[in-house]
Structure 1
Amino acid sequence: MVDSVLTRPAGKEDKAMIAVNPTLPTDVVVLLAADPDPGIRGLIAHRADLGPAERRALTTDPHPDVRLAVSLHPALSEEERARIDYQVPMDHPFVFHPAPEVPRDPRTVRRKALSNHPLLRRQAAGDHLLPPDLVARLAADDDLGVRVLLAQNHPAAPAPLLLRSFLEYTGPGRSHLTTRPGFPTGGLAVFADHQDPEVRALAVRDPETAPAVVERLTQDREHAVRTAATRHPNLPQSRLEALLDDEELAHAAAANPALNPDTIRRLVKTDSRRAGPSA
């Protein structure tokens, strides 16, 4: 069965399934480590039972994805990793991941956090139970992925890291950073004129943003910014009441906590009259 799968022309999917089979005989691991398909070699490169000779061969593989895959092998020393010509991808999404049901081994997590390999540090950065000393270390890491993954996943991610990550990372899951417990609110008014609308919207999270600035943001070219500014309690009452008649922003204006009580009563009475008596 194995021999036929490995030799038939259309066997890529079958070989991929075999490559991740945890009970492969050693000779099949050796055979697949030299497969013509770099995708198969890349899968084999992750195997813990990959022999020293195969590891050495894959560290100089002609395909960059294979070299990157084997550079993460747990049997390699830091010195051996450093000799591999790998490239760290920056186009991966750096997002929140739920904590695993079984906590990761703390010693393994620490080893990865102290590694010179950015991808191993990224793996460590996503651990929800990372101790304070490693949180501080990885918060200052020179790799964007490490910093953002720490910000996305650690419950004690520091506020400066959360803000920096939001400003520097523009990929999937960016908005999740603003939901983290330590995301700051103070001092965000300085972003009111930022060219990035998601960054401009930070200004309306600041309770100290000046009324004139909030009013200007209700006229922003981006709908999300306009809506958020319309809900800001510093919005001048005159502008707030005017927006109650704005078809686009009326609902946001009605939800503003600073809305005048008399205006609220008027709105409720008007709505009641429109509804008429119940049947």
Structure 2
Amino acid sequence: MLVKAYAKINLSLDVVGKREDGYHLLKMIMQTIDLYDVLKMHKIKNGIHIDCNKKYLPCDNRNLAYKAAELFMHKYNIKDGISINIVKNIPAAAGLAGGSADAAAVLKAMRDMYVPEIHNSELIKMGLDIGADVPYCIIGGTALCEGIGEIVTPLIPFRNHILILIKPFFGVSTKEVYKNLDINKVVRHPNTKLLIDAIRRNKLSVLSKNMKNVLENVTLRKHFILREVKRELIDFGALGALMSGSGPSIFAFFDDMLKAQICYDKMKIKYKETFITRTI
């Protein structure tokens, strides 16, 4: 079985509180983009075997795809083993939910292979045990995500909008970013209602000018180069630019493919992991 695991971007990210267990309470608008890993899966006699085209990624139980397979096999008493080959295209440690997307793809594929009658709600419960972004990645599309990520409300699709995505040469730790966030010092929060209305009316310019991610308060302060990336994207004609998740990836929307292509050609020279893609 061949499956695609799609990356996500955050059109907004707000931290609205903190639970007693330390988890932050979020309110964010997520969007699937046409950048994906390819997973080739087939049954084997026993065990879980993972291999990947990126040698720096672990292929044992540190890999979220491995964890997803292990969790599914245990819950549904699957006696077969599974082999998973991952062709990784989504940058790692980038704020794009690459690992979570792989885990969600594994859960959905194993559902199709073994217990097709179970609903997405069951997969979402399992997904939350793997990572906060996995429930959204199971649903995909355009969605409002709340709680610690487990409350996923689909929105009107915001598809087919052009964007440039840049992953700088370094990664960031999501755990460290949240650890260093002081909610009390966040002055500007996303206007989630306004953004949802812009999505409903398909107003790219309104959305682009009002995107907000409160985690930029941490990551952009530590990595000044990200401010420069945002500035360059705007200079090339982007309608708006934002960091995705905890970073360091920066994306920017364009309303003209020629402008986007010129921007891509120039930025690709400076940043190896530069992509031109669309919302889907």
Q: If you compute each CA radius of gyration, which structure gives the higher value, 1 or 2? A: 1
Q: TM-score, normalised by structure 2?
A: 0.24
User: Which has more strand, going by share of residues?
Assistant: 2
TM-score, normalised with respect to structure 1:
0.24
Structure richer in helix, relative to its length: 1
